[in-house]
A and B are shown apart, each in its own frame.
Chain A
């Protein structure tokens, strides 16, 4: 492969990298404090519906074996 082909391949790659970085540098960002409080709010709002977090009674969990009952 001639050096001209090689360097044109690298140039194309370098151009792509620059274009990609320009795009990434230009996006809108929010502060970590705001992002964190939003994440916390989501967790808080959904916590009560999270079976693994809250624990649900064995009778309602299909994976927990129910104790057999006998009707007397």
Chain B
């Protein structure tokens, strides 16, 4: 039986000592650059006034908790799940369709708007082409693309309909060719379920961020599979990660009832969004178009809007009657859609 031998002088203990030393070094290096807090620099920015955001639509029609949703690039349609449905056309209110996919925890619209991806407890992520013909048998056209060894928690197309990125309860993320189903790259490093991923805005290159039950948020190089940066400051599972619109930072939502903001070039956490009165986990986050506002959905049924720079809460959006599972900004930034365990979606604007 072949075993990797020890290098000269190397023992498990010496490797542990070296890794402890490196962790300390990382802390020291990051600490050296922590010359001021973000909210202090932001003191010279104007305080935000009250936001005039309210519910504009309530979408009923799911017979169960809505776990996930995504906007179509046309800004008018949504896909949502537990069972997968495409929405009404939100502007003209024409009806959408139900798609043949159960046990869905993640769903995404293809950039072309011509297909949706969905995945979940079946450990797979499938792609379903959409058709204008409402009678067409979409079940027959559903194609399995991703195969994990545990549930699929997140999925997104990359910049085309041809590649898809998934995150899984098996602790990995993976990049797939949609046409062939081939695994192009896998991403190992998390030590527990990965619950969320987000692709960097296209101008910033080929990276993505993931977060999971190991309380870590990892940034990855899509081509090499390399874990470039890692952040561990949450005190519980990270449920959602989302890039800031410039691509230089990202936010996270956690069961520890906080959302946090990490700057990639400073390589550290630069803000924590929390209040003593907020004791329920945060499940989801998304930024407004300028990145000034962070919308976060919580298990106490509310959505809080935070001033990203100053760190204070600007607004509370009430309306859902159960946990908020997903919030997402519309492609043109005019609205937020929220999905909830109360079986509805709401559009806020």
Interface residues of chain A, those whose CB is within 8 Å of chain B, are: 2, 4-5, 7-8, 10-12, 14-15, 17-18, 20-25, 27, 29-40, 42-47, 49-53, 55-56, 61-65
Contact = CB atoms under 8 A, between A and B. Distances in A.
Interface string B24-38: 011001100111111
Contact of B245 (A23, A46, A52, A55): A46
Contact of B56 (A20, A34, A43, A63): A63
A37 B36 CA distance: 11
Interface in B22-53: 22-23, 25-26, 29-30, 33-38, 41-42, 45, 48, 51-53
A24 to B, nearest CB: 6
26 contacts: A11-B4, A14-B19, A17-B19, A21-B23, A25-B26, A27-B228, A27-B229, A29-B265, A32-B33, A32-B37, A35-B248, A35-B263, A35-B265, A36-B309, A38-B246, A40-B42, A42-B244, A42-B248, A43-B45, A43-B290, A50-B289, A50-B333, A52-B289, A52-B334, A53-B293, A61-B349
Interface string B1-18: 101101000101001101
B15 A18 contact: yes
A22 B25 CA distance: 10
A50 B332 CA distance: 9
Interface of B: 1, 3-4, 6, 10, 12, 15-16, 18-19, 22-23, 25-26, 29-30, 33-38, 41-42, 45, 48, 51-53, 56-57, 75-76, 90-91, 189, 226-230, 244-246, 248-249, 263, 265-268, 270, 288-293, 308-309, 329, 332-336, 347, 349
A65 B36 contact: no
B3 A4 contact: yes
Nearest to A56: B334
A51 B3 CA distance: 60
Contacts of B75: 62
A3 to B, nearest CB: 11
Contacts of B53: 52
B41 A33 contact: yes
Contact of A52 (B36, B45, B51): B51
A46 B61 CA distance: 36
